[in-house]
């Protein structure tokens, strides 16, 4: 008896350790939790709004109704929740999974299946290697009386069956109409005998930090859970939840199972789609702005996919040092570090070193705005683009191209023979044909960095060994001699650097004399 107990405890300990050390898993653990989880922002990374085809809105636009709750004069959100809840649904999905199993259907982490999931495994008798259905839960909301429902892409991605449950207890099967992994928006449809109650769309552009909002959804299977909070911040980006991030941050509680549910203002209008959470906090949630959904839902309804615009440039943020080096008035805009030779921008006359300050009549204040605005432009549209070149504004008309899979609309980059003396804290050599081929920059002329002094201006600017310097102050340098001549009288310099497939501008200041 004691021995059997010891074996059982040992097996349970192995499973616990396996789950603990495999917390980086995504799909497997997500399904094991039986919830379509909001994205873990500190896990794996993924892919702006998209082009809007000529299609009429199929959702209900708000007529500007009065607020259904008034804080602090009233202390209840009950009227608001009661009005909104009939349009919020629970989405139940199932997926066929094959692989090793554990006790009570527990999934064994994939990297441990060779040890625990094969023949002779202690869990072989628990269904290892067999196919079985794994359920998952998410949320959504009705957007049209004829059965269209919006949710998150990750709620319905790669599932075999979808069932929608309404507040009155009725259920209906659903089919996927369209999905967009880039924005994590999905559109499904049910066929009912009577019209459904749709939630009107509000205007997320009018939101301000501090505005009251409520979230309704299905966290951990607890249907129609209502939580309240405020808009904590707007335009949250670079949080690792997609390529075109522009999230609403809220402290209204969002948990696994809330994915796809609505974020609603006090007028009962949808202003966001609850999508992501910070797993280290219970008051940091993120919602896709409803304006982004308005851009892509017509495409999802008519074609099932999203068609995005493409400009064909690589861009980077303008730092204060780059602003000074380029003699710009401010750090607004998107600096072009590379132009695709086959792209629309090249054909229109856009050049490397140009700073895009307006696109389609809209000012580009931050670099991250440009990819979203380009993506939202219908391919084939002729669009006015204004750039700053050599201190002066120039305007171009560009026919926006179509973004193919694997391309990026306007991509943002992350930051030879005899060695010469240290300049700006770096040493360079000529870039010969053989070395250029080794570095993957065949056909380029320049100098390659062979050493970067610790703590030097070059190191502080982010330059690395192996970087290829193509230009100094927007003048090409073909060898070490030209590089020295271009640098020796400069107190600061603007370098164009090739790093692998990336090309970027770097501003450096001259190393101080000791």
**Active site members:** 154, 184, 259
- Report the distance separating Cα 87 and Cα 83, nearest Å: 8
List the end-to-end C-alpha distance of the chain, in Å, as a whole number. Answer: 78
Phi, psi angle pair for 40, to nearest 5°: -75, 110
- Check: CB of residue 241 under 8 Å from CB of residue 259: no
Strand partners, 142: 149
DSSP 8-state secondary structure symbol assigned to residue 70: -
Helix ranges (DSSP H) in 277-353: 290-303, 320-326, 344-348
Provide CB contacts within 8 A for 492, sequence distance 6+: 321, 324, 325, 507, 508, 509, 510
Q: Which of 145, 38, 57, 133 is nearest to 95 (CA)?
A: 133
Report the phi/psi class of residue 127: left, alpha or beta, with left for phi > 0 and alpha for psi in -120 to 50.
Answer: left
- Check: CB of residue 48 under 8 Å from CB of residue 253: no
For residue 153, what are the CA distances in angstroms to 306, 344, 430?
13, 30, 50
């Amino acid at each position: 008896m004691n021995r059997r107990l010891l074996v059982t405890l040992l097996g349970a300990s192995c499973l616990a350790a396996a789950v603990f050390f495999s917390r980086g898993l995504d799909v497997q653990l997500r399904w094991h939790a039986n919830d379509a989880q909001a994205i873990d922002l500190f896990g794996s990374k993924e892919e702006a709004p998209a082009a809007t085809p000529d299609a009429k809105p199929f959702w209900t636009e708000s007529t500007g109704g009065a607020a259904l709750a008034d804080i602090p004069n009233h202390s209840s959100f009950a009227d608001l929740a009661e009005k909104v809840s009939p349009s919020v649904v629970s989405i139940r999905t199932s997926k066929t999974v094959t692989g090793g199993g554990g006790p009570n259907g527990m999934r064994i982490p994939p990297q441990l299946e060779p040890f625990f999931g094969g023949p002779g495994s202690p869990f072989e008798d628990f269904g290892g290697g067999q196919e079985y259905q794994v359920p998952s839960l998410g949320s959504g909301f009705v957007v049209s009386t004829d059965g269209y429902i919006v949710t998150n892409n990750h709620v319905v991605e790669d599932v075999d069956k979808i069932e929608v449950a309404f507040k009155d207890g009725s259920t209906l099967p659903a089919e996927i109409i369209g999905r967009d992994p880039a924005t994590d928006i999905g559109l499904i449809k049910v066929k009912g005998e009577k019209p459904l109650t749709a939630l009107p769309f509000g205007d997320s552009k009018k939101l301000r930090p501090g505005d009251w909002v409520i979230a309704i959804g299905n966290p951990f299977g607890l249907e129609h859970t209502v939580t309240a909070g405020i808009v904590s911040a707007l335009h949250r980006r670079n949080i690792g939840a997609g390529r075109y991030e522009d999230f609403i941050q809220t402290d209204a509680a969002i948990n696994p199972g809330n994915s796809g549910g609505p974020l609603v203002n006090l007028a009962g209008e949808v202003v966001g789609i609850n999508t992501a959470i910070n797993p280290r906090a219970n008051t940091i949630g993120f919602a896709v702005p409803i304006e982004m959904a308005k851009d892509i839902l017509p495409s999802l309804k008519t074609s099932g996919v999203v068609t995005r615009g493409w400009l064909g440039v690589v861009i980077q943020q303008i730092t204060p040092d780059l602003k000074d080096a380029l003699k710009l008035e401010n750090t607004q805009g998107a600096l072009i570090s590379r132009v695709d030779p086959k792209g629309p921008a090249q054909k229109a006359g856009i050049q490397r070193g140009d700073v895009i300050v307006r696109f389609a009549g809209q000012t580009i204040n931050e670099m991250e705005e440009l990819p979203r605005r380009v993506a939202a432009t219908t391919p084939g549209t002729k669009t006015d683009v204004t750039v700053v070149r050599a201190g002066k504004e120039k305007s171009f008309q560009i026919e926006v191209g179509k973004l193919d899979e694997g391309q990026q609309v306007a991509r943002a980059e992350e930051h030879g023979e005899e060695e010469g003396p240290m300049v700006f804290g770096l040493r360079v050599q000529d870039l010969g044909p053989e070395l250029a081929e080794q570095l993957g920059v065949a056909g380029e002329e320049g100098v390659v960095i062979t050493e970067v002094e610790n703590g030097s201006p070059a190191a502080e600017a982010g330059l690395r060994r192996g970087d290829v310097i193509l230009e100094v102050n927007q003048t090409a340098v073909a060898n070490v001699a030209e590089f020295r001549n271009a640098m020796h009288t400069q107190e600061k310099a603007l370098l164009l650097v090739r790093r692998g497939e990336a090309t970027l501008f770097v501003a450096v200041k001259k190393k101080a004399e000791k």
